[in-house]
């Protein structure tokens, strides 16, 4: 490997974004939104600043390889889907607005204390049994 071939992360970040970088950035933003996750929520999950997240999603900065898997896991897709190497599986991409809102509530549900989650689960089970009986 020649000296010209060796680049640092700082060198990479100074380069103009490529079309590939922009496509990955658009895919990330689209997938995040389709899952009903705000930029701030994703930042909190990954320990990033909102300004850095914005730069990644706008294609201004390349997403470091070590973060790709974290981004993918946080938005519920594979890294191959995020990179565009694999077709996106049918999931939240095809959800209607009401389902997206419900999905967002479900994500909030998972953050509740255990006793509150049990109470909500009992309520849902009760409602579903009532609906079946009708």
CB 72 within 8 A of CB 86: no
CB 83 within 8 A of CB 41: no
Shared-domain flag, residues 75 and 100: no
Q: Determine what percent of the chain is predicted with pLDDT higher than 70.
A: 78
Place of tokens 């705000």: 38
**Full domain range(s) for residue 35:** 1-93
Shared-domain flag, residues 88 and 99: no
The predicted-structure confidence for 62-98, as pLDDT tens digits, reads as follows 888 888 899 999 988 888 888 988 776 655 455 677 7
The predicted-structure confidence for 13-65, as pLDDT tens digits, reads as follows 567 778 888 999 999 999 998 888 899 999 999 999 999 999 999 999 888 88
The predicted-structure confidence for 105-116, as pLDDT tens digits, reads as follows 777 777 788 898
What is the distance, to the nearest Å, from the Cα of residue 49 to the centroid of all Cα atoms in its chain? 15
Shared-domain flag, residues 112 and 60: no
Shared-domain flag, residues 82 and 104: no
Domains held by the chain: number: 2
| Cα distances (angstroms) measured from residue 87 to each of 20, 95, 100, 125 | 16, 17, 21, 35
Shared-domain flag, residues 72 and 60: yes
What's the pLDDT at 36? Answer: 84
CB 74 within 8 A of CB 20: no
């Amino acid at each position: 490997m020649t000296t010209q071939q060796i680049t640092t992360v700082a060198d990479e970040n100074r380069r103009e974004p490529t079309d590939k970088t922009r496509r990955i950035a658009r895919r990330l933003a689209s997938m995040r939104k389709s899952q009903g996750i705000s930029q701030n929520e994703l930042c909190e999950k990954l320990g990033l600043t909102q300004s850095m997240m914005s730069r990644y999603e706008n294609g201004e900065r390349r997403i470091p390889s070590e973060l790709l898997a974290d981004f993918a896991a946080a938005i519920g897709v594979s890294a191959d889907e995020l990179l565009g190497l694999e077709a996106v599986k049918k999931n939240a991409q095809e959800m209607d607005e009401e389902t997206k809102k419900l999905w967002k509530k479900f994500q909030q549900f998972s953050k509740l204390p255990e006793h509150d989650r049990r109470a909500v689960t009992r309520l849902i089970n009760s409602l579903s049994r009532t609906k079946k009986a009708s």
